[in-house]
Structure formats: C-alpha cells, structure tokens
C-alpha cells in the first residue's frame, strides 16, 4: 500500500460510510496529494504536510451540515427494520415448527392459527434479536440499518465521526433491558433529537443530504 | 503569526487569491506561502476544510478541469456573493488595521 493510500484510508476511517461527503473528501485528498507528488515531492513528504488523519477528518466533518433526523423518519426506519425481522424470522420459525411436530399441531389445526402463533413468536423474538445483533452490527459497520438506509438517515458520533462499536452497543442498552419507550421519551425534548442513551453514547441520528458535486 | 489571527483572516485571503484567478488547492497553498513570505502556512488538510466552508456559504464554487496529463483537478472560482463578501471583509479589515495602527503606531515608528 502506498503512503497516499494509507493516509487517505486513515482519514476515511474517522468518517462515517453513510455520509455522501465521504467520497468527495477522498477525491479531494487524492487529487491534492497527486498534485504535490507531480510537483516533485515524495508521497511521504506530501502526506506529512496534510496534518494528523484524525485532525483532518475532524476539520472536514466540522464543515458538514449534519441535521438531526426527524422522529418521523426514525420511527419509519424502526418499523421497516422490525418488519424485516418479522419477514426473516417467521419462515424460520415456521420451518422449525414443522420440523418439531410436537410444538404445533400442523396436521389438525387450521393453518391460519399456526401462522398467527408463528407471527406472534416472531414478533416477540424479532426485537431482541434485532437489538442484540442486527442494529449494532449494521450501525457499527455502515452507520445505518436497512431501515435507516431506506429513509436516508444514519448514526454518527456527536462530532460527526463514525460511531464506534462501543457507541452503537451502548445506544442499544434500552432495547436489551426493555426500557426503550422511556429512553425514547427524551428524543422530542432534546435539541438534537437524541434518546437518553444517544446522549450517553454521544451519538446522533442525522439526515443524509446529497451534496453538490 | 498568531494562530487565531491567521484563522480569522484566512477566508478573506483565500477569497482574494480566488478573485485574481481560479485556482486549485495546491496552487492556493503555494500562493499563500510565497506571497505571505512564509508567514501564512496552513496544513493542507486545513485548507480544504476552509474551502468547504467557503463553498457551503456560497462564496466559492468548485469545478473539475481535466489537464493535459489526463488527471482531473478540482479548481475553485469565486462567486458574485463571494466578491461581495470579500469587499465587506476588506473594508472591515482596513478599518480595523487603520484603527489599531493609529493606536500602536507603525512598525517603523515603534523602532
């Protein structure tokens, strides 16, 4: 890996993948470093003039207009994610119920009754499964779940930096211990629409806005 | 040069350089260094953050121009709003410098 690739990668490490500005920042950094190299500098010398990767990333992020996502969008994203959980879990449970015949009387009971029970169990299981695995994994990797992506919002640190693993796990605590509604009550009353555990994790859910090219 | 002073005037200086001609990042860095006699040296990463701010304010706009070597390069041009901002900033700057100069004197007078 070249010094330029390494440096650009280090800067981008701090910038959430879900922000459209990320691609632009990368293009600007590469173009600028290429100009320095073309002017006769070594890659290492060109990189040394840029500043520490985290400082450069923070300076870029400080210029972005990160606006809190509306509660409506956040709610819509959550419903999409739960619906996805249901769709994914229900067939699994249905197959399981068929495999273990003793659990559900597939042969004599009406099919709708079986489906109703499976859907209920799927709903009961989907939120814990989503909370423990789905939300932290996707938010840690990309800053957004499928639902958040669908409605154009994303999780970042209060500084605009990429939300790290600790942050995305901490902001899920209310889901693990079943006090989500209490936690969510904070959001309408905080300036940046943060849940109580967004405040603890120092995270924000922001609206993704397309930038001019 | 004092960091805060430099930071406060950097936007105005960049707008002034872009008023003369469209320039790309490396040209701006070089011009800042050379024309300030080395007094205004900014980290390359800082320059781009300031350019983003100027762009977000509508005072400059970027565009890509492909060079003979075939690699596209991003240039910045000043907008009409940028020219108006520059005019206001220069007015404020010279008013301030004149006022401070009347109090502390000139460098020559100090010696």
Taking only the tens place, the pLDDT of each residue in A177-208 is 878 888 989 999 999 999 999 999 999 999 98
Residue A111 vs residue A78, higher pLDDT: A78
**Among candidates A35, A36, A63 on the partner chain, residue whose Cβ is nearest the Cβ of B53:** A63
pTM of the predicted model as reported, rounded to 2 decimal places: 0.76
Query: Is the pLDDT at A71 greater than 90, yes or no?
Result: yes
DSSP-assigned beta bridge partners for residue B23: B76
pLDDT value for B40? 83
ipTM of the complex: 0.77
Q: Which of residues 63-92 of A touch B (CB under 8 A)?
A: 63-65
**Among candidates A34, A50, A64 on the partner chain, residue whose Cβ is nearest the Cβ of B44:** A50
Work out the pLDDT band at A76, boundaries 50, 70, 90: very high
SS3 B41: coil
Cβ–Cβ contact A36 with B under 8 A? yes
Q: Half-sphere exposure of residue B109, counting CA atoms within 13 Å on the CB side?
A: 6
Written as six digits, the tokens of A52 are 């520490």
Written as six digits, the tokens of A36 are 């320095």
pLDDT value for A110? 61
Work out the pLDDT band at B104, boundaries 50, 70, 90: confident
Work out the pLDDT band at B16, boundaries 50, 70, 90: very high
Mean pLDDT value across residues B64-75: 79
**Inter-chain residue contact A50 with B71, CB threshold 8 Å:** no
Alpha carbons A165 and A181: distance in angstroms, whole number: 23
**Inter-chain residue contact B26 with A55, CB threshold 8 Å:** no
Q: State chain A's mean pLDDT as an integer.
A: 85
Alpha carbons B60 and A130: distance in angstroms, whole number: 45
pLDDT in tens, A92-148: 766 666 655 555 555 556 666 766 777 777 777 777 777 788 899 999 999 999 999
Q: Which residue of B has its CA nearest to A37?
A: B26
Cβ–Cβ contact A40 with B under 8 A? no
What residues of B are in contact with residue A49 (Cβ under 8 Å)? Answer: 43-44
Q: Which residue of A has its CA nearest to B76?
A: A28
**Among candidates A50, A64, A65 on the partner chain, residue whose Cβ is nearest the Cβ of B43:** A50
Mean pLDDT value across residues B44-69: 87
**Alpha-carbon torsion angle A88, A93, A99, A105, nearest 10:** -140
pLDDT in tens, A5-24: 999 999 999 999 999 889 98
């Amino acid at each position: 890996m070249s010094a330029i690739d390494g440096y650009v990668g280090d800067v981008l490490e701090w910038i959430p993948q879900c922000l459209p500005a990320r691609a632009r920042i990368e293009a600007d950094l590469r173009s600028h470093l290429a100009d320095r190299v073309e002017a006769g500098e070594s890659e290492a010398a060109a990189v040394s003039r840029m500043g520490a990767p985290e400082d450069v990333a923070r300076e870029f992020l400080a210029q972005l207009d990160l606006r809190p996502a509306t509660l409506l969008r956040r709610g819509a994203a959550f419903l999409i994610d739960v619906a996805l959980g249901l769709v994914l879990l229900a067939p699994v449970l249905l197959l399981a119920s068929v495999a273990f015949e003793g659990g559900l009387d597939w042969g004599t009971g009406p099919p709708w009754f079986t489906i109703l029970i499976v859907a209920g169990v799927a709903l009961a299981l989907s939120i814990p499964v989503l909370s423990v695995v789905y939300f932290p994994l996707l938010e840690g990797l990309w800053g957004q779940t499928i639902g958040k992506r669908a409605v154009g919002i994303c999780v970042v640190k209060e500084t605009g930096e990429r939300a790290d693993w600790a942050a995305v796990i901490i902001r899920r605590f209310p889901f693990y211990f079943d006090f989500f509604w209490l936690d969510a009550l904070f959001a309408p009353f905080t300036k940046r629409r943060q849940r109580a555990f967004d405040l603890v994790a120092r995270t924000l859910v922001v609206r993704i806005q397309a930038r001019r090219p | 040069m004092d960091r805060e002073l430099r930071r406060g005037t950097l936007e105005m200086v960049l707008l002034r350089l872009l008023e003369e001609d469209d320039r790309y990042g490396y040209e701006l860095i070089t011009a800042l260094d050379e024309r300030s006699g080395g007094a205004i040296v900014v980290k390359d990463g800082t320059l781009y953050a300031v350019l983003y701010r100027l762009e977000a304010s509508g005072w400059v706009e970027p565009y890509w121009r492909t060079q003979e070597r075939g690699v596209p390069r991003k240039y910045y041009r000043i907008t009409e709003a940028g020219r108006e901002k520059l005019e206001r900033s220069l007015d404020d700057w010279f008013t301030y410098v004149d006022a401070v100069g009347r109090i502390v004197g000139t460098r020559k007078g100090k010696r």
